[in-house]
Each structure stands twice: as structure tokens, then as C-alpha cells.
Amino acid sequence: MKLQVVPARTGAAWVKQGIQTFWRQPLALSGLFFLFTGLISLSALLSYVGTFLSLMMLPAITLGLMAAAREADLGRFPMPRIMFIAFLQGSHQTKRMIWMGFLYALLFCLVLAMSTMFDNGEFAKLYLMGGSISEDMALTDQFELAVVFCLLMYLPLSALFWHAPALVHWHDQPLAKSIFFSAMACLTNWRAFLVFGLTWAGIFISTSLILGLISVITEDGQLSMMLMLPAMMLLAAMFFASSYHSFRECFVSEAILA
């Protein structure tokens, strides 16, 4: 395994490659992403325990989406079982993925716990137990500070686990080493990831604006609402496909190039 440093423009290339990969198998990749959201939503129905369980599942299921993108990139049709590939490669990898999921969920909950010092736990309670955001709650400075704090803290947390599941799966790295090298890859290639994030943000915002414009032109306020959810879901599926390309170019070995 070799960690590569790539130029900033590579971040935009990852986005392009992810979109191209998605359109090689659009039905399969969009269907798998709907399966991904369904699994997370079902587990989250169990309130506190379910939310923690859904957080634990994220590293393993995102690996499944990356593996599906790899299959599509190689011209193969990804089958639904690929979503659970993290647990189909023997007990050794399964244990690593379970511990990784537990650590991810624990750190995420720690961030939520730290956010309680801003709004007395309103945002953390909303995230863990569900519910709707009232207008009064959303407009309070304390709630906004808690949200901003969680977003900022999630950036280093996501860097720790961005490549970690793939490093365990494709490079057979120990848990601690996979998390360390995931963070190092994001840190050394921060310019490429900045371009990657800004490009995707621009795509999501542009899509929202276009759908809003269509609603204005057709004078149908419900039209944009009907189109928004499937459009965002498709873009999210493309985003996960592009995450595979970010991993493939940050780490090189025969295991991933085969």
C-alpha cells in the first residue's frame, strides 16, 4: 500500500469519475443507495439504541457502496449482497468492521454530547430521538451554535473514517492503522478534498436552484418538492461512487488495481 499525494484539480476529477461510474449502472447503484437509506432508517426507528446501531452500520454500508461503484467501474453489475461485503470476507474482517462501527458511533455521540454545552442538548435530543424542528428552536442562537459545532467537528471525524473501511477490506490493514492512514490521506490531500467538497456542494446547490426555477416557470410549487427528493438521492448515490475514486487514487497497490 502506498499513500499518494495528488494535485488539487484531482478533486474535480473524482466528482466526474463518480458521475460517470454511476451512469454505467444507474439502476443498480441508485437501487443500492435506496437500500442503504432504508437500512439506516429502519434501525434508527429504535430511538437511542437504533440511532447508535445505524451509526455503527455506516462504515460497513459505505464500504458496500464503494464496492458497488468498483463493480460498476469494471463494467460489472453489482448485486445487492455487495452491500454486506464487509461481513462476507471472514471473521477477521468482520470483527474489525464491527469495532470500527462501534468507534465511529461512539465518537459521533461524543460530538453530540459536547454540543449540549451550547443548547442544553436540544440538537442532540433531536438527532437521537427524531422529531421536527420548531421555528422558535431553529432561530435560537444556541441551537445554531450547536449545529455549527457538530458540522465543524464532523469534518475531522469523517477524515478518520473516510478511507478506513476500504483500507481494512482491500488492503487488509489493522483497525488503528486504517484510521490513521485515512486521516493522513485526507490531511495530505486536503486541497483535492476541498475542491471535491466544493464541487459537490456546487452541484447540489445548482440542482436545488434549477428545480426551484422549474417550479416558478411552471407555477407549480409542488413540482419542485416532488422532484427534489429523488434528485438529491441520485446525487447522493453519485457522491458515494466518487468516494471510491478518491480512495483508489489516494492509495495504490495491486489489491485495488486488480
Q: Which amino acid is at 256?
A: I
Residue 99 CB burial class (10 angstroms; 0-12, 13-18, ≥19): middle
Residue 142 — pLDDT band, cuts 50, 70, 90?
A: confident
Q: Any idea which residue has 492503522 for its cell?
A: 177
Domain extents in the chain: 2-251
* Distant-in-sequence, close-in-space partners of 218: CB < 8 Å, separation ≥ 6: none
What is the distance between the alpha carbons of residues 170 and 4, in angstroms, rounded to a whole number? 16
The residues, any chain, with a CB within 8 Å of residue 106's CB and separated by 6 or more, are none
DSSP state of 78: P
| Residue 131 confidence (pLDDT) | 64
Q: If pLDDT is split at 50, 70 and 90, which confidence band does 129 have?
A: confident
- CA-CA distance, 85 to 44, in Å (whole number)? 22
What values do phi and psi take at 193, rounded to 5?
Answer: -70, -30
Quick one: cell of 30? 441508485
Q: What is the dihedral of CA 195, 199, 205, 207, to 10 degrees?
A: -170
Strand, coil or helix: 130:
coil
The grid coordinates listed for 55 are: 451509526
Contact 70, 247 (CB under 8 A): no
pLDDT in tens, 146-192: 999 999 999 999 999 999 999 999 999 999 999 999 999 999 999 99
Q: From the CB of residue 210, how many other CB atoms can be counted at a distance below 10 Å?
A: 13
Q: What is the pLDDT of residues 20-77, one digit of tens each?
A: 999 999 999 999 999 988 888 787 677 667 788 889 999 999 999 999 999 999 999 9
The reported pLDDT for the residue numbered 132 is 67
How far is it, in rounded angstroms, from Cα 111 to Cα 149?
8
pLDDT (mean) for 2-19: 95
Q: What is the pTM of this model?
A: 0.89
Q: What is the pLDDT of residue 2?
A: 86
Please list, in sequence order, all residues whose beta carbon lies within 8 angstroms of the beta carbon of residue 242, skipping any fewer than 6 positions away. Answer: 14, 15, 17, 18, 19, 21, 196, 200
Q: How many CB atoms lie within 10 A of CB 59?
A: 26
The C-alpha cell 428545480 sits at 211
* pLDDT band (50, 70, 90) for residue 258: very low
